[in-house]
Structure 1
């Protein structure tokens, strides 16, 4: 019988202890053990190490000298917010959003730079990211050498371990070594993550799924992203690839396989309406779908049909996700939600029709119109999760290195 790797188990237990303290605030060792089913000896050893490392601190409740209680005071454990600071960022086609947080995820500063980045060379985008990080850190009253990690999120398919962006609407090129470019400029450990995974972490840490360790998130924007949280951990594919929903096949004929993105992305809904100067300006400002909603309500039936077709396709896609994962909750986020019921009514109708009867009451669909700052804070949460010591993803350890990701190379630890 094969036994577990002791080092791996220690790292897993350490992560669970830190994450429990984060989630429940001031908490005793006994309560930690009860919540994550670890022995008192194991919890004591881990918390002693965390105290030595300065990652947590103690607080006493019920001091005998107060005369108001009997027995020894309870020793409560809390995170040390000053243990580390990280920067999270959301890179979108028309803006860069940054946030600085402390070790427990409290926001110290936010910064938004409204700039069209999707037509710029990679080096220029990396320069803008560097400038944004430096300015946001300064706004937080910190120096760059006080930042432990920078975590960037953007739409597309990302190799989490290497920080290479296989494909993204942000970049003209494929297989962009974004992590390498940022490390060269800042000299700080850098993580690159899909924006769907970042906002999935934000929902789990700060948002609508703080009470839920298993859920699916669909990001509906120019790209259609997918985040899957399982057992409190992000699910990643082979080579730690992020997930995408836009490539899901919705139908086919002998000559063409129809992808969800060809029906339900913002580009598909607009279908050439970029020639309208008002829509072009609205897109540059990140308000394209708000403009489309206004045109629909003014009587534009072509756009109304496109929005309804997109909603119906998304409803079928979400029904497929429910059939695959049976999540208790499906979170919908993203700028396309600005279409309101023109998108959501056909989505709900198609979802109800497509969901198997045996799963009809399993998943709750939650609409969450989150701010840009929460996406960036989610990227910061990805960085913090790794600082907490999470050593695994669903497909294996979270921090890996590979020889050549452009080919089917072998892995080297």
Structure 2
């Protein structure tokens, strides 16, 4: 039988201990051992190393100055907020949102730039992102030398391990080695991540999946993304590939393969309104769904039809995902939720019809309207996640 890689096991154990301290701290070593199912000897060795590297701090529970108190005070452990700073970003066609966080994931500064980057040359997009990162870092009263890592969340198909963007609707180029480009510009390790994966981790760390080790998230934005969390870890495909749910095949039609994006993608929903001058301008400014919401309230027949069609397609897709993974919770996020009652009603009805009887009641559907800063904080969490896994020395993460 093949044994596990010792370095990998050490990294996994280290991550497990740090995550337990992040989620439950201040926490004792005994409690860490119970929560992680690691031996007290292993926990003591890991926490000793973490203390040496300044990643965690001790806190004494009780008054150590009170000699009359019985027993010794408990030594509790918590993360050191100042151990590292990271930058997270959500990059869309019409805006860029940046956050700087400390080692605990608490936000130190935010910056939103309503700049249309859709189909700009990659060099221009890189310039704009670089400026945004630098400005947000300065707003946190830091310099880039104080930042350990940057994570940029973008829509599309992202190869996490290499930082290559295979496809993104906001880029006219494909197979872009964006991690190398941005790491060189910022002189800081830069991670490229699917925005859907980033907000999946945001919900696990800070949001509506904090109580779960397994969940699925579906993002309904310019692209249809899928995030999967299994046993507290992000699940990715070969090479760290993100999951583009919009490419899911629903069946065959007169023109060939019918994919989910052709029924429920933002472009498909808004397609019939492109001739409307005001609507076209709203789409360019990234406000297409907000404008569509107003038209649906006014009972625009074309948009009502598109919203119902999209809801049905998403409902069927969720039923298929639940059939495959049976997660306790499916979180839906993104701008398409602005389509409101017609979309949500058709989604719910299609899901109820398609879910197998044996799986009824297994998965809870949760709808979330998190703002862009929360998505960017998820990207920061991805950067922190990788720092938690990294071996450290007294000078920082040893890559």
CA distance in 1, matches of 2:340, 2:152: 29
Instruction: Give the C-alpha shift of residue 180 in structure 1.
Output: 1.5
CA distance in 2, matches of 1:292, 1:202: 28
Aligned to 2:224: 224
Contact 1:93 1:170 (8 Å CA) reproduced: yes
Q: Which runs of 5+ in 2 are unaligned?
A: 392-398
Contact 1:12 1:390 (8 Å CA) reproduced: no
Aligned counterparts, 1:10-409, within 5 A: 10-66=10-66, 69-253=69-253, 255-389=255-389
Instruction: Give the C-alpha shift of residue 390 in structure 1.
Output: 6.5
Q: Which runs of 5+ in 1 are unaligned?
A: 392-399, 401-413
CA distance in 2, matches of 1:34, 1:264: 45
Instruction: Give the C-alpha shift of residue 254 in structure 1.
Output: 6.1
CA distance in 2, matches of 1:117, 1:69: 63
If the length of structure 1 is used for normalisation, what is the TM-score? Answer: 0.93
Instruction: Give the C-alpha shift of residue 251 in structure 1.
Output: 1.4
CA distance in 1, matches of 2:383, 2:241: 17
Segment of structure 1 superposing worse, 46-55 or 249-258: 249-258
Structure 2 counterpart SS, 1:271: helix
Segment of structure 1 superposing worse, 174-183 or 290-299: 290-299
Instruction: Give the C-alpha shift of residue 73 in structure 1.
Output: 0.4
CA distance in 1, matches of 2:65, 2:216: 50
Instruction: Give the C-alpha shift of residue 68 in structure 1.
Output: 7.1
Instruction: Give the C-alpha shift of residue 9 in structure 1.
Output: 1.5
Structure 2 counterpart SS, 1:172: coil
CA distance in 1, matches of 2:68, 2:106: 33
CA distance in 2, matches of 1:217, 1:13: 26
Instruction: Give the C-alpha shift of residue 93 in structure 1.
Output: 0.6
Contact 1:62 1:68 (8 Å CA) reproduced: no
CA distance in 2, matches of 1:162, 1:54: 29
CA distance in 2, matches of 1:138, 1:372: 20
Contact 1:219 1:226 (8 Å CA) reproduced: yes
Q: Report the RMSD for the aligned CA atoms in angstroms.
A: 1.5
Aligned to 2:395: none
Instruction: Give the C-alpha shift of residue 10 in structure 1.
Output: 1.5
Instruction: Give the C-alpha shift of residue 250 in structure 1.
Output: 0.9
CA distance in 2, matches of 1:213, 1:229: 7
Instruction: Give the C-alpha shift of residue 341 in structure 1.
Output: 1.0
If the length of structure 2 is used for normalisation, what is the TM-score? Answer: 0.96
Instruction: Give the C-alpha shift of residue 39 in structure 1.
Output: 1.1
Structure 1 counterpart SS, 2:207: coil
Contact 1:153 1:193 (8 Å CA) reproduced: yes
Contact 1:64 1:71 (8 Å CA) reproduced: no
Cα distance change on mapping 1:95 and 1:229 into 2, 3 Å: same
CA distance in 1, matches of 2:5, 2:185: 37
